[in-house]
Amino acid sequence: MKRPLLTALLYAALTLGANPAAAIDPETRQIILDMREDDMRKMKILEEPTDLVTTEFEDVDGNKMTFADTNGQFRLVNFWATWCAPCREEMPALDALQLEMGGDDFQVMTIATGRNRLSGIHKFYAEAEVTDLPILLDPKGRLATRMGALGLPVTVLLDREGREIARLTGGADWASDNAMAVLNALMTEE
């Protein structure tokens, strides 16, 4: 008799604690999955958003920040390194994406993880003509590790509350029409 009561209580607690409005509707999720082409086919769209990660990272001046500091807008967070060839290859597309979609509701955040000299980042940005991306740093790789970015590049889409809703491992053409359409669909659904 105790087991059915315990099961009912556990189910009720989980139901009350769930936030169905935060999840992407299954039919809409499938539509978005089906619209992915080329590089975007690698994007995994989560059925349920994951919790906000509170691990700190730094801006170029050494100021500590967390994703909560930019809540209220969607963030495309790209973990990269100066020594990573696919990272360097996709950076101009991320810059173009920021130029096209960046604003009050959307921000591309490129976070150099691990040992990356600031002078090397500046040199690369100049060579690649990257002008619209921030320089953010995760010098000890703690944020990347906490977010499961074990290989590079890894790109994570965060909702307005800082929860992960999608992830793409490997390089991608983020300036493609399909990439922007998928991102817009995900942002509209949220």
pLDDT at position 22 is 53
Residue 171 CB contacts under 8 Å (≥ 6 apart), including other chains? 39, 86, 87, 89, 90, 153
Tokens of residue 59, six digits:
């801006």
pLDDT at position 190 is 62
List pLDDT tens digits, range 111-136.
999 999 999 999 999 999 999 999 99
DSSP sequence for 70-96: GTTSEEEEEEE-TT-HHHHHHHHHHHH
Whether the CB-CB separation of 172 and 39 falls below 8 Å is answered with: yes
Mean pLDDT, residues 39-51 taken together? 94
Report the C-alpha gap between 183 and 32 in whole angstroms. 9
pLDDT band at 28, cuts 50/70/90? confident
pLDDT at position 68 is 93
pLDDT at position 52 is 86
Q: Which residue from 42, 40, 95, 98 is spatially nearest to 73, judged by alpha carbons? A: 98
Say if strands 106-113 and 136-138 run parallel, antiparallel, or are unpaired.
parallel
Mean pLDDT, residues 19-41 taken together? 82
Q: CB count, 10 Å around CB of 178?
A: 16
**pTM score of the predicted model:** 0.86
Residue 163 has pLDDT above 90, yes or no: yes
Chain centroid, CA 187 distance in Å: 12
pLDDT band at 9, cuts 50/70/90? very low
pLDDT at position 17 is 36
pLDDT band at 168, cuts 50/70/90? very high
List pLDDT tens digits, range 57-101.
999 999 999 999 989 999 999 999 999 999 999 999 999 999 999
